[in-house]
Amino acid sequence: MNSVLVPPAGTGIPVGVRGVRKVFPGGVAAVDGIDLDVKPGEFIALLGPSGCGKSTLLRMIAGLETPDSGSIDLNAGRISFVFQDAHLLPWRNALNNVALPLELMGMDRAKRLSEAAAALKLVGLGDAMERYPAALSGGMRMRVSLARALVTNPALLLLDEPFAALDEITRHELDEELHKLWSNRRMTVMFVTHSIIEATFLAERAIVFTRRPARVILDHTLHLPARRTSSLRTDTQFSTQMRILFEALEQGY
């Protein structure tokens, strides 16, 4: 097979959402008239009550769901999606799970394994390449899933509560690693979460939604240092930004 050229890092794309509405069978409106602009290379957190429609919006941006009305505008660029569950193939080791997207793209074996190994090292799993999913902890499986999403150097990275099932310490560690990866690569990131702490720590902007059907109640630029470390979570500036998001969430219930 011919090799496939992977685009360089730092090629984040803009996202435009215009009047998007989605109604599920039975007349349940998940999203109602959402307008949203995301700049190239921006890190956006989508925050709201459980079941408010934020995951549905993310899936529509990814092309996994179709809006009933409105439009979603994306420039050409590769999109990667990280789900709540790692969705690893149990018969493939970590290296071959990460290499799967490149294999489906037609990249030759030596090149895709080299790229997959580099992606695993990037997420701190350079010593676990031969291990199978059953032999990995929950946090390690999510690292593999993240490496698989990053291996194609996406222009847009969509994450749907990927760390929600992990313990708090592991979740904080992965939040810090994800922010470092984004800082280095500058792809566009849209991250769905129901955690105010996580949204505040990760994002440049936080979009807060009301209860279903989701409507934007707050679009807030987070006034925090560009470099995020664990000590930031105990800073008064961090608490102030969290409070702004919390008050918007309360208002949206």
Do 198 and 73 share a domain, yes or no?
yes
pLDDT the model gives residue 77: 81
Q: Which amino acid is it at 151?
A: V
Q: Which amino acid is it at 185?
A: R
pLDDT the model gives residue 26: 80
| Contact by Cβ (8 Å): 245, 208 | yes
Q: Say which CATH number the domain at 33 has.
A: 3.40.50.300
Looking at the structure of the chain, the number of domains it has is 2
Query: Among 20, 10, 155, 15, which residue's Cα sits nearest to residue 74?
Result: 15
Structure tokens at 138: 């929950």
Do 173 and 247 share a domain, yes or no?
yes
Do 194 and 179 share a domain, yes or no?
yes
d(CA 123, CA 104): 22
Do 253 and 196 share a domain, yes or no?
yes
Q: With b meaning 16 or more CB within 10 Å and e meaning fewer, what string describes 188-226?
A: bbbbbbbbbbbbbbbbbbbbbbbbbbbbbbbebebebee
Do 69 and 167 share a domain, yes or no?
yes
Residue with tokens 């150097």: 153
Tell me the three state secondary structure of residue 49: coil
Instruction: Look up residue 231 and give its DSSP letter.
Output: G
User: 230-251 pLDDT, tens per residue?
Assistant: 999 999 999 999 999 999 999 9
User: 66-82 pLDDT, tens per residue?
Assistant: 999 999 998 878 899 99
d(CA 68, CA 53): 14
**Cα 213 → chain centroid:** 22
Strands 28-38 and 15-24: antiparallel
Structure tokens at 73: 């505008």
Which domain range does residue 204 map to? Answer: 21-77+156-220+232-253
By CB neighbour count within 10 A (0-12 exposed, 13-18 middle, 19+ buried), where does 73 fall?
Answer: exposed
Do 135 and 61 share a domain, yes or no?
no
Do 34 and 64 share a domain, yes or no?
yes
d(CA 155, CA 36): 18
Residue 8 has pLDDT above 80, yes or no: no
d(CA 252, CA 48): 8
Give CA separation, 210 vs 55, 72, 213, in Å: 13, 20, 7
Q: pTM of the entire structure? A: 0.92
Q: State mean pLDDT over 25-53.
A: 89
User: 98-107 pLDDT, tens per residue?
Assistant: 999 999 999 9
Residue 10 has pLDDT above 70, yes or no: no
Do 36 and 137 share a domain, yes or no?
no
Listed residues 96, 119, 154: the one ending a domain? 154
